[in-house]
């Protein structure tokens, strides 16, 4: 399977390296970025034969089977549409777009072309969270009643990024909204978000928040909550609990080692993994393996365009809830 990668930033480099070295039977035949030096550096390091500044130059390659989109969010739908029209299968990082109309048009292009589209919600492929989902499916904790997600970054992103990110709910919390739908297996119907600026005043000046607590109501009656912060001084904090009629299942953070130091003064261990690329390194490989399998064997992708759109809709509902200080039903978002 021959792949072209669009975008040579942090996540583009990761996917290109995984496709080149960690996904059996795949090769990267080209990488594009408006920053030619960034694309060339990755191409040289990974021995990718083609470099372009215009993604059209690579999407049109007849030997390309798939396109992996890791560029800026505002380019995603244009590239999805162009790739679909060229008959290429598509993997696209989240979010698809910040405009529902553009998302719908891109999904229509994919459906018309009959190609596959997978969205990069990598946390679904984390072994810890998959075990929680399996427990729910198997009824190991009975009927789910409550879901709690803790998702806190070790440090906020640069203000330049905050200004173009679309805000915390569609940039950061979007992963948690998708995780909530995935773990419970039901659609979110209503959102209530309370949020504030508690980490960096500059984030507020950019029109965003950095601390949030979101309450979710699912169609099947489950009540969910999401706890977000842009800054957890002790590291990347990623935990989940599902509480049910017959018990509960929860996950803890991942650590660089399992060593515990016990002394007369304290019992302690090293801090959790501090960066999302380290914490989710395995899940990034797993999601791409599943995409390749779906393309090669003709099955369904595990995270499709509808999933990508729904997470954006929930994010928009959360922002509306915060702005208007009231619960918002997803049916209000159009």
pLDDT of residue 278: 85
Say how many C-beta atoms besides its own lie within 10 A of residue 61's C-beta: 17
* CB hemisphere CA count around 66 (13 angstroms): 26
Question: Which residue has 């949030």 as its token pair?
Answer: 212
Answer for the pair 58, 64: CB distance below 8 angstroms, yes or no. yes
Q: State the Cα–Cα distance between residues 37 and 49, nearest whole angstrom.
A: 15
Give the pLDDT score at 109: 98
What architecture is the 123-275+305-332 domain classified under in CATH? 2-Layer Sandwich (3.30)
What was the pLDDT predicted at 116? 98
Cβ neighbors of 159 (< 8 A, separation 6 or more) are 200, 202, 203, 206
pTM: 0.95
| HEC letters along the chain | CEEEEECCCHHHHHHHHHHHHCCCCCEEEEEECCCHHHHHHHHHHHCCCCEECCCHHHHCCCCCCEEEECCCHHHHHHHHHHHHHCCCEEEECCCCCCCHHHHHHHHHHHHHHCCCEEECCHHHHCHHHHHHHHHHHHCCCCCEEEEEEEEECCCCCCHHHHCCCCCHHHHCHHHHHHHHHHHHCCCEEEEEEEEECCCCHHHHHCCCCCEEEEEEEECCCCEEEEEEECCCCCCCEEEEEEEECCEEEEECCCCCCCCEEECCCCEEECCCCCCHHHHCHHHHHHHHHHHHHHHHHCCCCCCCHHHHHHHHHHHHHHHHHHHHCCCEEHHHCC
What pLDDT does residue 272 have?
Answer: 92
Considering the chain, tell me which residue range(s) the CATH 3.40.50.720 domain(s) occupy. Answer: 2-115
Give the per-residue pLDDT at 276: 83
Q: What is the pLDDT along the chain (334 residues), one digit of tens a residue?
A: 999 999 999 999 999 999 999 999 999 999 999 999 999 999 999 999 999 999 999 999 999 999 999 999 999 999 999 999 999 999 999 999 999 999 999 999 999 999 999 999 999 999 999 999 999 999 999 999 999 999 999 999 999 999 999 999 999 999 999 999 999 999 999 999 999 999 999 999 999 999 999 999 999 999 999 999 999 999 999 999 999 999 999 999 999 999 999 999 999 999 999 988 788 899 999 999 999 999 999 999 999 999 999 999 999 999 999 999 999 999 999 8
Residue limits of CATH 3.30.360.10 in the chain: 123-275+305-332
Q: What is the pLDDT of residue 148?
A: 98
Q: How far is 222 from 103, CA to CA, in rounded Å?
A: 28
2-115 adopts what CATH topology? Rossmann fold (3.40.50)
How far is it, in rounded angstroms, from Cα 33 to Cα 9? Answer: 8
Question: What tokens appear for 260 in the block?
Answer: 């515990």
Q: From CA 148, how far away is CA 132, in angstroms rounded?
A: 12
């Amino acid at each position: 399977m021959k792949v072209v990668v669009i975008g040579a930033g942090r996540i583009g480099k990761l996917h290109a390296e995984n496709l080149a070295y960690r996904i059996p039977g795949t090769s990267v035949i080209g990488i594009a970025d408006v920053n030619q030096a960034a694309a060339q550096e990755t191409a040289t390091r990974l021995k990718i034969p083609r470099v372009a500044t215009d993604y059209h130059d690579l999407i049109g390659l007849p030997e390309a089977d798939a396109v992996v989109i890791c560029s800026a969010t505002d380019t995603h739908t244009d590239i999805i549409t162009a790739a679909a029209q060229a008959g290429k299968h598509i993997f696209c990082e989240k979010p698809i777009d910040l405009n529902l109309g553009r998302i719908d048009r891109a999904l229509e292009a994919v459906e018309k072309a009959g190609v596959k589209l997978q969205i990069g919600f990598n946390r679904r492929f984390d072994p810890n969270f998959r075990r929680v989902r399996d427990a729910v499916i198997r009824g190991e904790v009975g009927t789910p009643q409550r879901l709690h997600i803790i998702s806190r970054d070790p440090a906020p992103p640069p203000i330049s990024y905050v200004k173009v990110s679309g805000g915390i709910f569609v940039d950061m919390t979007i992963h948690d909204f998708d995780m909530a739908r995935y773990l419970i297996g039901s659609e979110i119907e209503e959102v209530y978000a309370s949020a504030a600026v508690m980490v960096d005043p500059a984030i507020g000046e950019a029109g965003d928040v950095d601390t949030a607590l979101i309450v979710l109501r699912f169609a099947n009656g489950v009540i969910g909550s999401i706890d977000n912060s842009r800054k957890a001084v002790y590291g990347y904090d990623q935990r989940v609990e599902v509480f049910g009629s017959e018990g509960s299942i929860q996950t803890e953070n991942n650590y660089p080692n399992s060593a515990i130091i016990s002394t007369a003064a304290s019992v302690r261990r090293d801090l959790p993994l501090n960066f999302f690329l380290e914490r989710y390194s395995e899940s990034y490989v797993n999601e791409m393996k599943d995409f390749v399998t779906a393309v090669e064997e003709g099955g369904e992708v595990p995270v499709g365009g509808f999933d990508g759109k729904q997470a954006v809709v929930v994010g928009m509902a959360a922002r509306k809830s915060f702005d208007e200080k009231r619960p918002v039903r997803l049916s209000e978002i159009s």
